[in-house]
Structure 1
């Protein structure tokens, strides 16, 4: 397989879509990795497997409609394999395995059959365990690579901080000709409305030089201003805390003029349609309860 991904919006040809089959029991509070999951565990509203399977099937059907080749993870019994974006990513023609939470190491094994189709010299893994990054924090924009990180002194104790500056440096080393720009994100284990778990929880390019953004997701306002200057304020769709909580920035582009979005994102979807973008609406509010949405559950392999 010849990989090719240079941005978030070029025409998609092949993708890994996670799976909710055999997702396992509702986790205990102490087993959860993010404040939104904890909120739903405590409230007794944690998503049911059959509902999540139905939501992911709706996405698979959209991919089929647009003739996108879809790979699914092999099923690991009683194991959460929804968020394929976390475990690896493709940049240009390189497949880069993430250094993720140790409890999730099995997930990459479930797509080994996909990795076996890639030339071995195009598959990369960080050389040491203290280099941390996940795919949700890494966003491609042609000559730019945007990377979400956390620079707080409590990084090592902050389970919602998934990408460190060593991870940023490692990606820079693989792509020395790219402009690698890191963004210091706000994190909270207590309030999901104050927690930008990954960069795609508060920012994502869409269409032609447009982007969705949540200003309060950035710890450093200079980082936010960098994106305003790059895209132009008139090209940014600002979402509020509630829209960020419901994951409005975590939609997924099949092309510059086709996106998959949650059907409840009425304000966002209206804006997208005003740009002459086709919005394929799907139900995804149950999966959103785990603080991830459409971008989180997809890993593009080939875009035109």
Structure 2
């Protein structure tokens, strides 16, 4: 059995699910895309090639091997996108919480059944139907659980709004001993530079007390100021609109002092190293064309 344990984003990683780009399927039609960045690349004829994405994900798998992390991969579904493991489920404490994802993506969760079979049934949580929540919107910081949501009246018309207020309420009830703080995120169905698809597209803790943040990813300035107060202004690395678009906040921590980051994130990687963090660089720019990066394609199961 797997003894699940995840209480933050940065403790030493022991076991993780890494998605797969093998048999990723043909370039989707515009109406089949789930986010504005994918649509942008479909229109431009620059949608990523399977071979390139497979290479990028295998580079991550090699780093996990280097750090002796147990890696689980989803069972392969022919011609199906299974890259973003974080969307379909996530672990909080010792609970494996299934996401109520877009109906078209339910097979992705079924492809993890071999992993789910290793988890004690009492620790597997299936939210009720009215709860919308995806792992990219759920961020753990010890006593805190941060949740990205969208509070606009037009929630249902945004395919980019993935976690509703019912999802926030559900987590609050499930973890009454945690400080659950929701953040109202900027959403756009048409402009990826103004769309925080998930919370990890505009914010993520690194190390013990630092974080990467994009101020304009938050619709309400008080949400942004909450994080400034919590982390301290000098501990925050502010990214630009273009850096947000390129997914600079979506790196992945193996330990408090080890991260996997995209090789082109020069400014961020320099800052991380200046703070004593080991930066394992990988090419991941092709995968980022689908509005997801390293955190989106990984689902931690056990951290020390």
Alpha-carbon distance, 1:74 to partner: 0.4
Aligned equivalents of 1:119 and 1:208: distance in 2?
Answer: 30
Equivalent position of 1:284 in the other structure: 284
**Unaligned stretches of 5+ in structure 2?**
none
1:108 and 2:123 are equivalent in the alignment: no
Equivalent position of 1:203 in the other structure: 203
Instruction: Find the residue that maps to 2:254 and give its secondary structure.
Output: strand
> Structure 2 matches for 1:240-259, cutoff 5 A?
240-259=240-259
Instruction: Find the residue that maps to 2:301 and give its secondary structure.
Output: strand
Give deviations 1:236-256, integer Å, cap 9, x for gaps.
000000000000000000000
Alpha-carbon distance, 1:130 to partner: 1.6
The TM-score with structure 1 as length reference comes to 0.99
Alpha-carbon distance, 1:75 to partner: 0.3
Aligned equivalents of 1:83 and 1:281: distance in 2?
Answer: 19
The TM-score with structure 2 as length reference comes to 0.99
Give deviations 1:205-231, integer Å, cap 9, x for gaps.
001200000000000000000000000
Instruction: Find the residue that maps to 2:170 and give its secondary structure.
Output: helix
Aligned equivalents of 2:7 and 2:288: distance in 1?
Answer: 26
Equivalent position of 1:6 in the other structure: 7
Instruction: Find the residue that maps to 2:223 and give its secondary structure.
Output: helix
Equivalent position of 1:159 in the other structure: 159
Alpha-carbon distance, 1:173 to partner: 1.0
After superposition, the CA RMSD in angstroms is: 0.4
**Matched positions, count:** 303
Equivalent position of 2:136 in the other structure: 136
Alpha-carbon distance, 1:157 to partner: 1.1
Aligned equivalents of 1:33 and 1:230: distance in 2?
Answer: 33
Equivalent position of 2:55 in the other structure: 54
Give deviations 1:165-189, integer Å, cap 9, x for gaps.
0000001111000000000000001
Aligned equivalents of 2:183 and 2:276: distance in 1?
Answer: 30
Aligned equivalents of 1:38 and 1:113: distance in 2?
Answer: 33
Aligned equivalents of 1:130 and 1:79: distance in 2?
Answer: 26
**Unaligned stretches of 5+ in structure 1?**
none
Give deviations 1:34-53, integer Å, cap 9, x for gaps.
00000000000000000000
Aligned equivalents of 2:173 and 2:207: distance in 1?
Answer: 29
After TM superposition, what 4+ stretches of structure 1 lie above 6 angstroms from structure 2?
A: none
